[in-house]
Amino acid sequence: MFPLRVRIMVDKALVDKIKQLKQRRNAVILAHYYQRPEIQDIADFVGDSLELARKAAGTGADVIVFCGVHFMAETAAILSPDKTVVLPVLTAGCPMADMVTAEALRARKAALPGFEVVTYVNTSAEVKAESDICCTSANAVKVLKSLPLGQDVLFVPDRNLARYAAQQAGRDVTSWPGYCPVHDQLRVEDIDLCLEKHPQAKVLVHPECRPEVIALADAVASTSGMLRYARESDAREFIVATEEGLIHQLRKQCPGKEFYPASDKLICENMKLTTLDALARSLEELAPAVTVPPTVRERALRAVERMLSFV
C-alpha cells in the first residue's frame, strides 16, 4: 500500500518551499521516528513520544507543526496553549488511543475506587484529564516504581505495555484491554524466521508487543531506547520489532550496521499519512490546527507535567 522501502525522489522545490514557509511562520517541525524518511529528514527535531513532548513544551517558535498522530499534537497543545499547533493530516489518529474514551474510563474508575490511574500518552486529552499521571514507553517503569508500594493501579490503555512495565517495576497493575494493532500483530514465528536468516542479530523489541515476543528480546525498549542500544552495542546486526520508520533513523545514526524489520507488517498507516505536500499545505494555511478546551487542558496538564518529571 505504502511504497515505504522504495527510496522516493524528493522534490527539491517542495523542500525549499517548506523551509521558506517555516521561516516565515517562525515554525518548528517535530517528527516522530515512525514518519516517512523524507519527513524525518526535513524535521527540526525527530524523537520518541517523550522527547517530542519535551520539545513542544520548550520551543520558542510561534507554530508547532507536529508530524505524528493526533494525540501527539494534542499533548503539544496541552503543554503550549499559546502556540499554534498544526497536524498536517487531521485524520492521522491512533487506533490504540481510540480504544479508551473518557466516559468508559470514568465508569471504570467508579468501579475501582482508590486506584491511581496511569495513562499511556497514546490517549486523547479527555482521557488524560481523567488520569493521575501519564507515561510513555520510555518512562513507564519509572512512573510505576515511583508509586507507593501497595498502591492499586489502573494502567490505560495498552495491556502489553502494562504487563511489561508492571513486571519490570515489580508491581501488580490492572490493565485496560487496549493494544497497538501494529505491534500486537507480531508473532514469535516472525522473529524465529528473521533469526533463521540472521542468527547473529540482536533482537530489539518495543514493549507494545505481545509478552511472548518480548520474551525473545535481547533488549526491550522505546524507539529512543532502541537507537541508544544500537549505537552503543558492539553487535553489527539487529532485528527491529517496532514500526518500520525507525529503521531510517537507525541506519542514519549507525552507519555500517545492518537493521532488519522483524516483519513487513510493521507499518502504522496513520503515521504514514503525513507527506511533504501535506506538510507544505499545513504551513501555508496554518491548518488543521489542534486545540484543547481549557477545562480539559487544565486537568490533563497535571498528568502530563507529572510524566515530564520522569526522565
Q: Footprint of ligand SF4 on this chain (CB under 6 A)?
A: 34, 69, 94-96, 122, 180-182, 243, 268, 270-271
Q: Render 189-229 in DSSP notation, one character per residue.
A: HHHHHHHHH-TTPEEEE-TTS-HHHHTT-SEE--HHHHHHH
Among 122, 175, 263, 274, the residue binding ligand 13P under the rule CB under 6 A is: 122
* Minimum CB–partner distance for residue 303 and ligand 13P (Å): 16
Binding segment (CB under 6 A) for ligand 13P, from list 80-88, 136-144, 185-193, 280-288: 136-144
Binding segment (CB under 6 A) for ligand 13P, from list 130-138, 229-237, 279-287, 290-298: 130-138
C-alpha cell at 69: 498522530
Residue 85: φ, ψ to 5°: -110, 125
Q: In terms of Cα–Cα distance, which of 273, 307, 223, 241 is closest to 93?
A: 273
Binding segment (CB under 6 A) for ligand 13P, from list 23-31, 110-118, 135-143, 192-200: 135-143
Closer of 270 and 282 to ligand SF4 (Cβ): 270
Q: Which of residues 178-207 bind ligand 13P (CB under 6 A)?
A: 180
**Residue 178 carries which side chain, given as an amino acid letter?**
G
Task: Indicate the residue whose CB is closest to ligand 13P.
Answer: 48
C-alpha cell at 201: 542479530
46 interacts with ligand 13P by CB under 6 A: no
Closer of 21 and 29 to ligand 13P (Cβ): 29
**Burial status of residue 204 (CB atoms within 10 A of its CB: 0-12, 13-18, 19 or more):** buried
Closer of 21 and 304 to ligand SF4 (Cβ): 304
Closer of 136 and 160 to ligand 13P (Cβ): 136
* Minimum CB–partner distance for residue 273 and ligand SF4 (Å): 11
| Inter-residue long-range contacts of 200-203, CB under 8 Å, 24+ positions, other chains counted | 200/235, 200/236, 200/237, 201/235, 201/237, 201/238, 201/239, 201/258, 201/260, 202/229, 202/233, 202/235, 202/237, 202/238, 202/239, 203/238, 203/239, 203/241, 203/262
* Minimum CB–partner distance for residue 74 and ligand 13P (Å): 13
Q: In terms of Cα–Cα distance, which of 133, 129, 139, 183 is closest to 158?
A: 183
Q: What single DSSP character describes residue 140? A: H
Q: Say how many Å lie between the first and final Cα of the chain, rounded.
A: 37
222 interacts with ligand 13P by CB under 6 A: yes
* Minimum CB–partner distance for residue 1 and ligand 13P (Å): 19
What's the CA gap between 15 and 29, in Å, rounded? 13
48 interacts with ligand 13P by CB under 6 A: yes
49 interacts with ligand 13P by CB under 6 A: yes
Q: In terms of Cα–Cα distance, which of 215, 204, 242 is closest to 49?
A: 242
**Residue 179 carries which side chain, given as an amino acid letter?**
Y
Residue 95 contact partner, candidates ligand 13P, ligand SF4, none, CB within 5 to 8 A by sort of partner: ligand SF4
119 interacts with ligand 13P by CB under 6 A: no
Residue 137 contact partner, candidates ligand SF4, ligand 13P, none, CB within 5 to 8 A by sort of partner: ligand 13P
**Burial status of residue 76 (CB atoms within 10 A of its CB: 0-12, 13-18, 19 or more):** buried
* Minimum CB–partner distance for residue 94 and ligand 13P (Å): 6
**Interacting residues toward ligand 13P by CB under 6 A:** 33, 48-49, 94, 122, 136-138, 180, 208, 222-223
